[in-house]
Chain A
Amino acid sequence: MARRMKWEIVHVPGEPERSLEVDTVDVFASNIEPKLANNIVRQLNQVVPLENLRHVKRVRRRTAEGKVELSVILCLSGEYEKDAEALPRGIHQLISAYNLCPYRAKVAKHAAISKEEWEEQCKLWPTSYHPSTNLDGIATLSEGELQLIFNYMDSAIQLTKMSYAGGKVQNAAVIVDPLRGQVIASAHDQTSYPCPLTFKTSARGGCVDECGVTIASQSDSNEFGNNQDNSVKKFALQKCNEYSGVSCLNPWGWTTQRASHQNSSGKSDNKFSWHPLRHAAIVAIENAAARDRELFPGLGSSESQSEPIDILPNPSDNCPSKRQKIQVFEELNMEKEFLHNSEPNELMRPYLCTGFDIYLVWEPCTLCAMALVHQRIRRIFFALPNPNAGALGSVYRLQGEKSLNHHYSVFRISIPEQNLHEIELNASNNSSNKAESKEEI
């Protein structure tokens, strides 16, 4: 299988990939004389516009045996199933005026959301297709921006290397202000602190054989959910417990991480020597909040203006004005953020993490993904899917939950093998470190 040599980016949509089986509706269609096409279509559009089938092309053009054949959709056939006489009057007139022979045909019921689906649909009847990824920004990202994005992801990967403290590889998070090109906060998992952070340049251990990590089997496909899934899964956890230290991959595993070093020397400025909920993203959010408090000490609690909307349950029916009020708060907020700022400093300061991006090596779990909704992150980039507990497409798909008040865009970055290798190497270094320390004891 071809090796992945370069960085790539894929949008992870809010809707799951649909199967290619096309949902259809029945229509009446008829072949028409090409020279009459304009007339007929104009009249049809007046008499029976295809309101809910805007993605369907009214006219189909085919070439059969060197001859152009045009067909047109007359109307939906569903309602007139039993009684062709009941067809709209205008249709009858057209049929007799142009000598049409209506027949039943099937067309796609919904607009296609992928190129593959569109191709399937067109086998039935032509439809139009507007790739939605354009809306989500990949298409509009310049080469320069892409390079920056890949660099930030690389720095997150470096952080997994920095963060293993003789223990296991951990997830890492980097929050970035893309407009200023500034790192706002970064963190790695702090669910366990086996021992203080030390560096050993040890020889590479035998993790590849030991735990069956077969990075080379990564396929070239850049859709996640197929081939690659298997190898990544393998890579992620199943066979290699070197990755069981990645909090989002193994959220319930903290009870088995009973540290042999149960001393307080691992404590830094942090109150906890271990904490089941201190996943990388959670810690990064905390660091970003701390930075904000430090940089803008005077701007107190009045800033958390739209947070209430995060917790307030939907207003009950007996209080119709509520919804409207929430709307007002949201509008106020927008204004506050974008229009008027009395303090010059405040211009620099976004509300929570509005406008910021986060880079995560592993797809976050629901704890982290929801925390990032609360903190108003703009875009999430992750490198490795999380088949165990991922909340951005693998198991859940929070970016597609309509009820949430904030929606970030999600991208998966496929990283070159050599970078994957770095993560793998961290794990193997660790396992050899562990072996060493056992011997020492």
Chain B
Amino acid sequence: MAFETGHDSASKMRFMELALEQARFALENLEVPVGCVIVEDGKVISSGSNRTSETRNATRHAEMEAIDTLLEEWQMIGLDQLEVAEIFSRCDLYVTCEPCIMCTTALSILGIREVFYGCANDKFGGCGSVLSLHDSNSEKLPRGALRGKGFKCTGGLLSEEAVALFRSFYEQGNPNAPKPHRPVRIAQEAE
């Protein structure tokens, strides 16, 4: 984009690298490799990675993890709702995969400023792939519906790296590794 300086895009890459690091951490823990960081004033203030397996709670996506860390911290130092909302409105999220419908809603509720993601999420994405909940103008909403807070959203940042992690998740296949007592069927179908 024309208005972006080289420095800006370099720091975006740097933040996405950090998000990818989180995703790798998830992979090591046999979790789905998605990671994110939240940035305020050019500084990473929180990070998170998927923890759905460990918690057996399929809503514990990377975004939720990073958000909860902040909310806990800020409440500990006594910030109230208005103060918290004010900080979120200056925060950007970098996440390796497009936020799902749930996480997009969460980010809109919190009033985050901007989101950068790696690969698109064709099955669950809430930032354009399935729904466009980040765009408060786009949907033709029925009368009476509240318009959520929108945020700017840019995809495609280091998306190959993000996809490569998904691929190794399946290929190493750790948690999904075929159980030895059903080898025949797996061998056939994996071809």
Chain B residue nearest in CB terms to A307 = B52
Q: How far does the Cβ of B86 sit from chain A's closest Cβ, in whole Å?
A: 9
Q: How far is the CA of A387 from the CA of B143 in the complex (A)?
A: 8
Interface string of B95-126 (1 = CB under 8 A from A): 00110111011101111000000011111111
Q: Is the CB of A376 within 8 A of B80?
A: no
A293 to B53, CA, bound (A): 11
Stretch of B2-10, B11-19, B167-175 at the chain-chain interface: B167-175
Taking the complex as formed, is A153 at the interface, i.e. its CB lies under 8 A from any CB of chain B?
no
Q: Is the CB of A311 within 8 A of B59?
A: no
Q: Which residue of the partner chain, among B125, B149, B189, contacts A252 with CB atoms under 8 Å? A: B149
Cα of A440 to Cα of B39 in the assembled complex, Å: 44
Task: Give A47 Cβ to nearest chain B Cβ, in Å.
Answer: 43
Does A303 reach chain B (CB closer than 8 Å)?
A: yes
Which listed residue (B32, B129, B182, B189) contacts A307, Cβ 8 A?
Answer: B32
Report whether A308 and B59 are in contact in the complex, using a CB–CB cutoff of 8 Å: no
A370, B102: Cβ atoms closer than 8 Å: yes
A314 at the interface (CB under 8 A from B): yes
**Chain B residues closer than 8 Å to A257, beta-carbon distance:** 81
Asked if A355 is at the interface (CB within 8 A of a chain B CB), the reply is: no
Name the B residues within 8 Å of A262 (CB-CB).
78, 80
Number of interface residues of A (CB under 8 A): 73
Decide yes or no whether A274 CB sits under 8 A from chain B: yes
Chain B nearest CB: distance from A420 CB in Å?
A: 19
Interface stretch, picked from A103-111, A211-219, A321-329, is: A321-329
Per-position 1/0 for B153-191, Cβ under 8 A of A: 000000000010011011000011010011000100110
**Contact check: which of B120, B148, B182 meets A251 at CB < 8 Å?**
B148
Partner of B80, one of A258, A276, A316: A258
Complex formed: what's the CA distance from A292 to B52 in Å? Answer: 13
Q: Is A39 an interface residue (CB 8 A)?
A: no
- Interface residue? B75 (CB, 8 A): yes
Q: For window 1-56 of chain B, which residues contact chain A by CB distance below 8 Å? A: 29-32, 34, 50, 52-56
In the complex, what residue of chain B is closest to A263 when comparing beta carbons? B78
Report how far A340 CA is from B169 CA in the complex, Å.
Answer: 24
Question: How far apart sit A285 and B59, CA to CA, in the bound complex (Å)?
Answer: 8
Contact of A366 (CB < 8 Å), options: B32, B126, B176, B181: B126
Of A307, A325, A394, which contacts B142 at CB under 8 A? Answer: A394
Instruction: Please determine whether A375 and B142 come into contact, CB atoms closer than 8 angstroms.
Output: no
Interface: B67 (CB within 8 A)? yes
Closest to A336 in B: B179
What are 12 A-B contacts with C-beta separation under 8 Å? A259-B81, A272-B71, A277-B67, A286-B57, A307-B52, A313-B119, A328-B190, A367-B106, A370-B124, A373-B101, A374-B102, A375-B58
